[in-house]
A and B are shown apart, each in its own frame.
Chain A
């Protein structure tokens, strides 16, 4: 309710503005501020939340302007034109995202730069359609026949801005926003809990572009005239400045950022010869002084007290219940003559093994023997060069990680891959990704169904955390945990997927004695409810204690398989791995 009071107050202020300042210059300025803010808000979803980058947002802004302008000039009503503009922008965003799917970092930046510049060139040079630098003239906008003069048009912009803000805010606080953020933190971890990273990236780009498209339309009709000078590379940079200086990923950041990028240049415009110097200086100073942006910097000052309070609220006793069991305990996995080559080097060489659930299977071997590669193959991170992986009779060799998760195979990571910016609880909630039933619309509008479901999964997530003994840290940011704690949270997150096969990649590496106990308990419990486990581990103590059967790899080949006693007495294993009595004493300390 408090939320709606705030929105109401903002709405009232925006509504009253033309009466307080009955000055067409100021109203014009306010219009510009609002649509610029909209672009920055949309870009913030992309950059701040989902961890992608766009240096070509002026391109989407331009598409919105031109498409709606052309439609109106072709005789369509203003509102319809605007909707078409939004649609084309979303489509363009999706296309850019698909073009840049495999590109990262500077390469992704380049794809978006190239897109922005191409649009700029088209706007400039395809004069027959766009008018180029000479510009495009438009009729006065109207709302279903009601003409929108300066002040009504301003109100129309206010209305749209508020709507976009409310909906974007809803999205950010729903599972959609959480998924974006998870994806930005660790793509591979998001994929292994079932997030189709490709589609979600496309969605983020399309949403962001769509919002820029609305803003583009509003800009185009502001003066009933615009030309191609407004869509330069500098403009794209400016939008990004708004996001970063305001505070990427924060909810208030775009407002503050827009103040800087839109109002500041207006103020220093009179100093024409020096305005770049001044703007550059202020930008540089704010980036150095406040690397998290203005809002980000302020939030950092506030944070410590909040975190402490929340921790005590969520204290939940440890429990042994996780509240579900595997429906299909007899899951069967088979690797058939699998080969994995990297540039001529065979990391996994003709390995076959079968695992029939519920079973705890140990996978051991000296370093570099191909264990991690095997895990990556089984979870779809790599696709085998040759051979087959069969899961319950289905060939899953070519499945990407999110499809592996969907059929019931998930994992933890040797080098931790938590969503570091999310809280512990949110990490586990992302783990439930495949089990959420509400759609995009429910999350966008925060329907009753959405709230019910969210509450339900929060409780489930807490009970999973209680099971691994981490409930007391539920509201802590994941980055603040110790390594051992992070491993436990990874296990809880993987359990949220409700897998039939869980692959633990060195869960005890560097864990304390207490955490090792905890991990062994979790493994036994999972087995008792019908989940199969593949355990990659160096700690012989754990392997020999919890595994039913053990597969030993050496130099990419399987050299032995059997129960712990068999393995401990297998001459080849002792030779290759355990290295005889003396070292065993030295290492295991028995």
Chain B
């Protein structure tokens, strides 16, 4: 469904990614793990157009390398950025409406149905629909960020550290939601600091190190590979 070949990104003098190859098949959960600064977030940003990259990125066969983010999003890739990045000064509902910005003119009825779907997924959001998003707790903000990304009904979800700064209860909720989304037919690329948690819900995994893929394979194998466990999972 999505493939990246020989992907490189430079920030000024520093090389953040060096020739990464990666592919994600339909209805997979693929986990991307690795130390801080390994280039995980950069890889996601390159895919969704937030940073410029060299190499070849294809989505459903179409080359999307260096398209602007708003164009890539319209193809059905939704990115939940690190740190949630909700629009804090607007209401919960306006945040969700903005998530459907590209669809609302053409399919207003559909958007309404999707809004109800998200409220059903997270009833907490419905309770707080008229509240300013910035006043939500961290966990609620993460729910909102996820729902906002789902409001365009994407096929492909890119999640950047959805567990960051959350207490374990919320982490479990978010991870359960990710599993459920796969059941709904979504394809998911997940970056996580909590490597074991991520690998335990993923089908396959990539371990990044210094901007390169160090290990890759079925999640189960990575979890039980002594070397991976020792170097990266640190458990």
Tell whether any CB of A sits under 8 Å from a CB of B in the complex.
yes
Stretch at the interface among B53-61, B103-111, B118-126, B168-176: B168-176
In B141-168, the 8 Å CB interface with A consists of 163-168
B69 beta carbon closer than 8 Å to chain A? no
- Residues of B with C-beta under 8 A to A538: 165
A51 beta carbon closer than 8 Å to chain B? no
Complex CA gap A509/B234 in Å reads 15
Stretch at the interface among A35-43, A86-94, A123-131, A576-584: A576-584
In A566-590, the 8 Å CB interface with B consists of 576-579, 582-584, 586-590
Tell whether, in the assembled complex, residue A583 and residue B165 are in contact, meaning their CB atoms are under 8 Å apart.
no
CB closest residue in chain B, given A582:
B172
CB closest residue in chain B, given A512:
B35
Tell whether, in the assembled complex, residue A480 and residue B13 are in contact, meaning their CB atoms are under 8 Å apart.
yes
Tell whether, in the assembled complex, residue B172 and residue A586 are in contact, meaning their CB atoms are under 8 Å apart.
yes
Tell whether, in the assembled complex, residue A513 and residue B138 are in contact, meaning their CB atoms are under 8 Å apart.
no
A483 beta carbon closer than 8 Å to chain B? yes
Complex CA gap A304/B138 in Å reads 41
Tell whether, in the assembled complex, residue A579 and residue B172 are in contact, meaning their CB atoms are under 8 Å apart.
yes
CB distance from A500 to the nearest CB of B (A): 29
Tell whether, in the assembled complex, residue B197 and residue A587 are in contact, meaning their CB atoms are under 8 Å apart.
yes
Encode contact with A along B206-235: 1 for CB under 8 Å, 0 otherwise: 000000000000000000000000011111
In A356-415, the 8 Å CB interface with B consists of 365-368
A482 beta carbon closer than 8 Å to chain B? yes
Tell whether, in the assembled complex, residue B194 and residue A511 are in contact, meaning their CB atoms are under 8 Å apart.
no
Tell whether, in the assembled complex, residue B169 and residue A579 are in contact, meaning their CB atoms are under 8 Å apart.
yes
A484 beta carbon closer than 8 Å to chain B? yes
Tell whether, in the assembled complex, residue B168 and residue A577 are in contact, meaning their CB atoms are under 8 Å apart.
yes
Tell whether, in the assembled complex, residue A510 and residue B36 are in contact, meaning their CB atoms are under 8 Å apart.
yes
Of A368, A484, A576, which one neighbours B37 at CB under 8 angstroms?
Answer: A484
Encode contact with B along A504-519: 1 for CB under 8 Å, 0 otherwise: 0000011111111000
- Residues of B with C-beta under 8 A to A590: 235
A345 beta carbon closer than 8 Å to chain B? yes
Tell whether, in the assembled complex, residue A584 and residue B36 are in contact, meaning their CB atoms are under 8 Å apart.
no
CB distance from A379 to the nearest CB of B (A): 20
- Residues of B with C-beta under 8 A to A578: 168
Of A304, A483, A510, which one neighbours B193 at CB under 8 angstroms?
Answer: A510
Tell whether, in the assembled complex, residue B138 and residue A367 are in contact, meaning their CB atoms are under 8 Å apart.
yes
Tell whether, in the assembled complex, residue B172 and residue A483 are in contact, meaning their CB atoms are under 8 Å apart.
no
Tell whether, in the assembled complex, residue A586 and residue B197 are in contact, meaning their CB atoms are under 8 Å apart.
yes
Tell whether, in the assembled complex, residue A589 and residue B196 are in contact, meaning their CB atoms are under 8 Å apart.
yes
- Residues of A with C-beta under 8 A to B166: 366-367
Of residues B135, B196, B233, which shows the largest number of chain A Cβ atoms within 10 Å of its Cβ? B196
- Residues of A with C-beta under 8 A to B164: 509-510
Looking at chain A's contact residues, the main secondary structure is helix
Complex CA gap A578/B172 in Å reads 11
Tell whether, in the assembled complex, residue A587 and residue B13 are in contact, meaning their CB atoms are under 8 Å apart.
no
Tell whether, in the assembled complex, residue B232 and residue A513 are in contact, meaning their CB atoms are under 8 Å apart.
yes
**Number of B residues whose C-beta is below 8 Å from A?**
32
Of B37, B172, B175, B234, which one neighbours A513 at CB under 8 angstroms?
Answer: B234
Tell whether, in the assembled complex, residue B196 and residue A367 are in contact, meaning their CB atoms are under 8 Å apart.
no
CB closest residue in chain B, given A510:
B36
**A366-B14 contact given A484-B37, A510-B193, A512-B36, CB 8 Å threshold:** no
CB distance from B134 to the nearest CB of A (A): 11
B200 beta carbon closer than 8 Å to chain A? yes
CB distance from A363 to the nearest CB of B (A): 14
B139 beta carbon closer than 8 Å to chain A? yes
CB closest residue in chain A, given B234:
A513
Tell whether, in the assembled complex, residue A483 and residue B36 are in contact, meaning their CB atoms are under 8 Å apart.
yes
Of B138, B169, B234, B235, which one neighbours A368 at CB under 8 angstroms?
Answer: B138
Complex CA gap A368/B134 in Å reads 12
- Residues of A with C-beta under 8 A to B235: 588-590
CB distance from A474 to the nearest CB of B (A): 18
- Residues of A with C-beta under 8 A to B137: 366-368
- Residues of A with C-beta under 8 A to B138: 366-368
Tell whether, in the assembled complex, residue A367 and residue B35 are in contact, meaning their CB atoms are under 8 Å apart.
no
- Residues of A with C-beta under 8 A to B175: 586
Complex CA gap A510/B82 in Å reads 12
Encode contact with A along B13-40: 1 for CB under 8 Å, 0 otherwise: 1100000000000000000000111000
**A367-B234 contact given A510-B36, A586-B175, CB 8 Å threshold:** no
Tell whether, in the assembled complex, residue A512 and residue B37 are in contact, meaning their CB atoms are under 8 Å apart.
yes
Complex CA gap A482/B37 in Å reads 6
Of A511, A516, A577, which one neighbours B167 at CB under 8 angstroms?
Answer: A577
CB closest residue in chain B, given A307:
B13
Complex CA gap A517/B168 in Å reads 23
Tell whether, in the assembled complex, residue B168 and residue A511 are in contact, meaning their CB atoms are under 8 Å apart.
no
CB closest residue in chain A, given B167:
A366
- Residues of B with C-beta under 8 A to A584: 168
- Residues of B with C-beta under 8 A to A365: 167
Of B139, B194, B234, which one neighbours A587 at CB under 8 angstroms?
Answer: B194
CB closest residue in chain A, given B11:
A480
In A539-587, the 8 Å CB interface with B consists of 576-579, 582-584, 586-587
Of A345, A480, A482, A583, which one neighbours B36 at CB under 8 angstroms?
Answer: A482
Complex CA gap A522/B194 in Å reads 24
Tell whether, in the assembled complex, residue A579 and residue B167 are in contact, meaning their CB atoms are under 8 Å apart.
yes
Of A345, A509, A512, A586, which one neighbours B171 at CB under 8 angstroms?
Answer: A586
Of B37, B168, B232, which one neighbours A583 at CB under 8 angstroms?
Answer: B168
CB distance from B232 to the nearest CB of A (A): 7
Of A304, A368, A513, A579, which one neighbours B35 at CB under 8 angstroms?
Answer: A513
Complex CA gap A577/B166 in Å reads 10
6 further contact pairs, Cβ within 8 A, besides A586-B168, A589-B195: A368-B139, A513-B232, A579-B172, A583-B168, A586-B171, A586-B194
25 A-B residue pairs with CB within 8 Å: A365-B167, A366-B137, A366-B166, A367-B138, A367-B165, A482-B36, A482-B37, A484-B36, A509-B165, A510-B193, A512-B35, A512-B37, A514-B35, A538-B165, A577-B169, A578-B168, A579-B169, A582-B172, A583-B168, A584-B168, A587-B163, A587-B171, A589-B195, A589-B233, A589-B235
Question: What are the nearest 5 A-B pairs in CB distance?
Answer: A367-B138, A366-B167, A589-B196, A512-B35, A482-B37
Using CB atoms and an 8 Å cutoff, list the residues of chain B in contact with chain A.
Answer: 12-14, 35-37, 135, 137-139, 163-172, 175, 193-197, 200, 231-235
